[in-house]
Amino acid sequence: MTLKVLDDRIRSVVGDSVEVEQVATGFIFTEGPVWDPRTGSLIFSDMPGDIMRRWSAANGVETFRQPCNKANGNAWDLQGRLLTCEHGSRVTRTEEDGSVTVLATHYGGKELNSPNDLAVKSDGSIYFSDPTYGRMDGFGFPREQDMDVQGVYRISPDGEVSQLANDFDQPNGIAFSLDESKLFVNDTDRGHVRVFDVQPDGSVTGGDVWADVVGEGEGVPDGLKIDSEDNLYTTGPGGIHVFAPDATDLGVIGIPEHIANFTWGDDDLRTLYVTASTSVYRRRVNTPGKRVI
């Protein structure tokens, strides 16, 4: 494991340590981690296995849901209910009683490609990316694409689905800046992060390239999140790249396996939990993640 320093500011964000701990392994391809502070546990997806799992220090790995319609990205809504992007072309919400409510399956009369990742705004609206990865064998259900584009969408608080952008190659990780004035979205196949200006009505404008994610080693821009000081973390070549708010790549956190996604957890949100192919890893950082629930 390594910490590649490109700018000394990374030391104040993640610290000097390069220690990474494997907390669980034996999976196929892990994704979509979210920390549940109410149970002190990590919920994550294992797409090819069509299973969602829960890990805690007390109980180890348990089954959360199986089958799960090839679930990928997860997030919490404002009421603390689990939102899930499913490669079976759905965005769903898990209710308090465990039942599943379907929030989106189509746009403009066409089936969504395979919702991948999502972010929740403070007004309750849900923004999600829709690449085609879930129509591939193994990661989803092989089938012809119904949509003509790979885009980014919004589900309004009253349930209306709108298309925000449709000029991506493969949109993926998605997150708001702390003040919610900006929406960041990874375009995996193009190897960069784009940024949009969020308008008062929830629509977005702009979409310029905010940063190219480059470097040595395996990895692509996949999972993307913002910490409590507006630093942007994204997977990429060599591990997890940490960008300052001014778009400077501060450095790369090395992980032993190919990384798909990550989140912050534990009581102080200073433990970075990483879903990396067959395993889940963790390491301590200095700057906590953003508190969600």
Mean pLDDT of 107-131: 98
Mean pLDDT of 197-222: 97
Domain for residue 290, yes or no?
no
Sheet holding 182-187, edge to edge: 171-176, 182-187, 192-198, 204-212
Per-residue pLDDT of 163-194, as tens digits, reads 999 999 999 999 999 999 999 999 999 999 99
Mean pLDDT of 141-168: 98
Residue type, 90: R
Mean pLDDT of 111-135: 98
pLDDT at 18: 77
Work out how many domains the chain is built from and give that number.
1
Q: What angle do CA 239, 272, 47 make, to 5 degrees?
A: 70
Q: How many CB atoms within 10 Å of residue 37?
A: 15
- Name residues whose C-beta falls within 8 Å of residue 86's C-beta, 6 or more positions apart in sequence: 68, 69, 70, 71, 72, 92, 114, 115, 134
Domain for residue 232, yes or no?
yes
Task: Say what percent of the chain tops pLDDT 70.
Answer: 100
Per-residue pLDDT of 30-67, as tens digits, reads 999 999 999 999 999 999 999 999 999 999 999 999 99
Range of the domain at 43: 3-284
Domain for residue 277, yes or no?
yes
What is the per-residue DSSP string for 101-146? EEEESEETTEE-S----EEE-TTS-EEEEE-SGGGSBTTB------
d(CA 278, CA 30): 6
Mean pLDDT of the chain: 97
The answer on pLDDT for 84 being more than 80 is yes
Domain for residue 270, yes or no?
yes
CA distances from 257 to 96, 152, 179 (A): 34, 28, 33
CB 48 within 8 A of CB 134: no
d(CA 101, CA 185): 26
Domain for residue 33, yes or no?
yes
d(CA 8, CA 56): 34
pLDDT at 1: 67
Domain for residue 291, yes or no?
no
Q: How far is CA 29 from the centre of its chain?
A: 14
CATH classification at residue 198: 2.120.10.30
Mean pLDDT of 91-106: 97
Domain for residue 292, yes or no?
no
Domain for residue 289, yes or no?
no
Per-residue pLDDT of 4-38, as tens digits, reads 999 999 999 999 887 899 999 999 999 999 999 99
The answer on pLDDT for 71 being more than 70 is yes
